[in-house]
Amino acid sequence: MDIVRLMVLLAFSGTVAAQPVVPKDTLPERFWEAGWPFGLGDPPPSWGGPLHVDRITLGRALFFDPLLSIDRTVACASCHQPQAGFASPQALPPGAAGKRALRNAPSLYNRSLGALHSWDGKASSLQEQVVLPISNPNEMDLPLADALGRLRADAEYVKRFTSAYGSGPTEDRLADALSAFVFRLTLADSPVDRFQAAHDRAALTVEERKGLWIYESKGRCWACHSGPNFTDEEFHNSGIGIVDNKPEPGRMAVTGDVADRGRFRTPTLRGLVQSAPYMHNGSLKSLQEVVAFYRRGANKNPSLDPRLKPLDLTDEDARNLVAFLRALSRRSRD
């Protein structure tokens, strides 16, 4: 089945298979040894459990391997690129066979703190989320049964799965290995954390401190971007993606509740400098555009979140808020 589908793809394109588009793995060799970062609050309960290094490293190998896409041209890392904050630098990242994902690929940093995953919350666990792109027809487009067939035919992967789990590849083990890797991707210990949690006043410039004040007061950013990960992990309608005054289904596609129309998960504000463009459709290219969007009160529509109203910000306020967001993206040691 796998070979037949691949031959169809090649015949349709009329060309030989394209070269894989997979970024380099630039993480430190033993990145998980850095531990839970300062300023991120309490780790999830499972963080302190047994550390299965062989499962993390297996998931890491799978994450960067185009073997898991139908034409072997893209991997998980093709959309969630390390140099882009494990997000996509393109509004709609490329999938297999020349297709495009239907949504922007958000950052994977700190997903260990998430309750629901995907922009619309369709996945209730990391284990569920990490395998969805493999079979998604606009992303990697490879049925999980075919993906497992490839892994079982690969002697090295069979060896690594057996070492990590006691036996060969299964769907549950594939999901567990990928999620074990993603679970350890963390980002914090920014100058903002040093300023707030360590009371280091010199950690932020005057402009960044003013931006923090805007964030916490008349900017009202905290209403949705709350907590140590700067997200409430809830779903809100800001009118992004609205067409003819009608929002996309968003969260409603999962819950069936019309009140959820146009609602998408609040992303973390950490690492924003690296993870542009922004919003679930990648329509805002810069932090300045994001601030301008909320400054004017987002996009009006019948389901707009009532918390989103025009903000009384000066141009200087807007610049300071962007300065604060940039500080939140830096690591304090940089």
pLDDT given at position 244: 81
pLDDT given at position 4: 40
Domains of the chain, CATH where assigned: 18-183 (1.10.760.10), 191-329 (1.10.760.10)
Residues in the chain: 334
Q: What is the pTM assigned to this prediction?
A: 0.92
Distances in whole angstroms, Cα of residue 93 to Cα of each of 217, 237, 277:
35, 23, 11
φ and ψ at residue 25, rounded to 5 degrees: -80, 105
Q: What is the pLDDT of residues 144-156, one digit of tens each?
A: 999 999 999 999 9
pLDDT given at position 332: 81
- Rounded to the nearest 10°, the torsion over CA 25, 26, 32, 33 is 140
pLDDT given at position 86: 98
pLDDT given at position 21: 78
pLDDT given at position 334: 62
pLDDT given at position 12: 40
pLDDT given at position 10: 47
Q: Could you say which residues of the chain have pLDDT below 50?
A: 1, 4, 6-17
pLDDT given at position 18: 60
Number of Cβ atoms within 10 Å of the Cβ of 55: 23
CA separation for the pair 113, 289 (Å, rounded): 27
φ and ψ at residue 195, rounded to 5 degrees: -70, -45
Residue 51, token pair as written in the block: 């550390």
